[in-house]
Structure 1
Amino acid sequence: MAQPEDDLPDAVNGGNMDSNGADQRAAPRFMLLIRAAKLIVDERCEFLCVIRDASSTGLKIRLFNTLPSHRSLAVEMSNGDRYPVELVWHEGEFAGFRFGSEVDVQRLLDESHGPFPKRQVRLRINLDGILHSGGEALRVAFQDISQQGACIESDKWLLMNELVRIETDVMPPLYAKVRWRSHPRYGVLFEQTFKLDELARIAAPLQAGDHAHDALSHPERFRRI
């Protein structure tokens, strides 16, 4: 397993100090207690992660699953801003990444702008379920999911603010209210939200292809923050 490189900024390698204890980081570091994001693998699989610190040249990220083999990687923030990255080191549940080019770290940390400001991280997933509405039970397809809600496709017209129950093979029954609709797509808000690690554990195997298998290879990695 590769170890941190000494000439990289603190966000990537943990930093360097001289003999007097002076900080010799190449770029200022911003400590983040928790900043949820998603790691996009080969433009088709999405895995929840947490950014722990960042600089203009790189990131240190906590992963919830084994990092799969890949050709390309990108980190996407909750507001939709996306940054191509390169893996520098990977040790346990943490990994260091280098940006493809220097970024504005203030913009990186400010998620009040962007294509989707002020929302939680959404993951695309491949999952079907049974929706119970008005005495009917019908099959629906999840398009994406977050800690608080999901986008589903339903052949039935649902009412705004309607309370529905959705059953799947991988989660307890979900009770949710319809918050927006653009038939056949509906946005639902869960009555009970997911913890970040719970959603990561559920969503990882619902990705397409071999990456989902890799994500399940080490279930001990799914830990609470």
Structure 2
Amino acid sequence: MEPAQLNQGLEPPPERPAEILGELPADVASADQRAAPRFTLLIRAAKLVSAQGEFVCVIRDVSETGVSVRLFHALPTCTDYALHMPAGAIYEISRVWQRDNEAGFSFDGSVDVAKLVNESSEYPKRGLRLGLCFPVMVHGLTGSFEAVVENLSQQGARITCDALLSIDQNVRIVVPSLMGKPRDVRAKVRWRRDRHYGVVFDDTFTLGEFARLAALLQAPALLEG
């Protein structure tokens, strides 16, 4: 296989929209098209896990050799990452390039593209959950108390606290905000196990808000510039 074919999808995409989506230029010979890795457009949220934390991305396209993603902030300086899919699959990857809000990674091992795509299509509504741990203030009808978020998604969170909460109780959770002023998020308690509670947000986060909040909590320098 020629070097140019091995690097397809791993170098920054050109400006022409068709090539950004992984399509080959029209002047490429048909023989080269058959030999090149097959690209698949896949708009799916996923998370990048590195030594500096867990960060949200959107997979743009994938081939046998690598994957390109859309970002919501700069990436950590490390090279090695793990790509976690919502359905649970994990792929070890290495960063190859980054330009503005896009980045390309190579797979560290062989990947069954069809399996990756089918798994993503089978569970399209599964939300991302990040293993973030940070203190919050919770307000309810019985008063205010401190709690700790143990993991977070766009739609809810798992918290732990010493206060006793009831199922379906309405609360307000004060979380950090990029605007400098903390944000009140309305939520409802859905389950309880000892001092651990699952809450569902009435005020859900957009994917961009969720991604930037994760960066703010783990590596705020990634949001600068």
TM-score (norm 1): 0.81
State whether residues 79 and 95 of structure 2, in contact with CA within 8 Å, keep that contact through their aligned partners in structure 1. Answer: no
Give how far 1:198 is off: 1.0
CA distance in 2, matches of 1:89, 1:71: 10
Cα RMSD (Å): 2.5
- Show structure 1 runs of 5+ residues with no match: 219-225
Aligned to 1:174: 185
Q: Which amino acid aligns with 1:168?
A: V
Structure with the bigger percentage of helix: 2
Q: CA deviation at 1:216?
A: 2.5
Per-residue CA deviations over 1:98-152 (Å, capped at 9, x if unaligned) read 11111122332214779xx952111222421111233221101111211111111
Match of 2:39 among 24, 29, 36: 29
CA displacement 1:76-110 (0-9 Å, x = unmatched): 11122211101111111111111111112233221
Identity of aligned residues (%): 39
Q: What is the aligned partner in structure 2 of residue 84 from structure 1? A: 92
Cross-structure match for 1:216:
223
Q: Specify the code of the residue in structure 1 equivalent to 2:168.
A: N
Higher-Rg structure is: 2
Q: Does 1:191 align with 2:206?
A: no
AA partner of residue 28 (structure 1): R
Q: Which amino acid aligns with 1:30?
A: T
Cα offsets for 1:158-192 (capped at 9, x unmatched): 22222111123434211111122222221111012
**Corresponding residue SS for 1:60:** strand
Aligned residue-pair number = 206
What TM-score, normalized to structure 2?
A: 0.81
Q: 2 CA distance for matches of 1:192 and 1:57?
A: 39
Mapping of 1:1-225 within 5 angstroms?
6-8=4-6, 10-13=8-11, 14=13, 16-17=24-25, 19-20=27-28, 22=30, 24=33, 26-32=36-42, 34-42=43-51, 44-70=52-78, 72-109=80-117, 110-111=119-120, 119-170=126-177, 171-207=182-218, 212-218=219-225
Is residue 157–residue 183 contact of structure 1 (8 Å, CA) maintained in 2?
no
CA–CA separation in structure 2 for the residues paired with 1:71 and 1:59: 14
| Structure 2 portions without partners, runs of 5+ | 14-21
Q: Distance in 2 between matches of 1:60 and 1:53?
A: 6
Q: For the residues of structure 2 that align with 1:118 and 1:78, how far apart are their CA atoms?
A: 9
Amino acid at match of 1:123: L
For the Cα contact (< 8 Å) 2:44–2:120, is it kept in 1?
Answer: no
Q: Is the 1:79–1:118 Cα contact (8 Å) retained in structure 2?
A: no
Counterpart Cα distance in 2 of 1:121 and 1:168 = 18
Question: CA separation in 1, counterparts of 2:68 and 2:96?
Answer: 10
